[in-house]
Amino acid sequence: MYPQFCQFAKAAAQRVAVATGNPALSKARVPIEPPTSALVMSAGYAAGNVTPPMIPNVTANVLTRSPKGVNAPDATEVAKDTTTPFGLSILVEQGSCDPERYKVSGNSVGNSNTINTINTIITMSNCTIIPVPALQDNYMYLIIDNETQQAAAIDPVDVDAIQAAALTANATITTILTTHNHWDHSGGNLKLIRSTPTIDRVYGGVGDDVPGCTHEVTDGSTFSIGTKTNVSVLFTPCHTQGHVCYYVDNAHVFTGDTLFVSGAGNFNTGTPKQMTEAFDKILKLPDSTNVWVGHEYTAKNCAFACYCEPNNKEMKERLEWAKSRGSIHVGGRGTIPTTIGKEKACNPFARIDVLSVMEFCGPCVNVDD
> Burial, 271: exposed, middle or buried (Cβ in 10 Å; 0-12, 13-18, 19+)?
middle
151: nearest Cα among 222, 100, 210, 201? 201
Contact 67, 136 (CB under 8 A): yes
- Amino acid identity of residue 160, one-letter, is D
Q: CB 222: neighbour CB atoms within 10 A?
A: 10
For residue 358, the surrounding DSSP H or E stretch is helix 355-361
- Amino acid identity of residue 325, one-letter, is R
Name, in order, each residue with C-beta under 8 angstroms of 128's C-beta and a sequence gap of 6 or more: 121, 122, 142, 143, 144, 146, 169
Active-site positions read 180, 182, 184-185, 239, 257, 295
Contact 73, 59 (CB under 8 A): no
Q: In whole angstroms, what is the distance from residue 27 CA to residue 31 CA?
A: 10
Name, in order, each residue with C-beta under 8 angstroms of 90's C-beta and a sequence gap of 6 or more: 83, 84, 96
- Amino acid identity of residue 85, one-letter, is P
Contact 173, 196 (CB under 8 A): yes
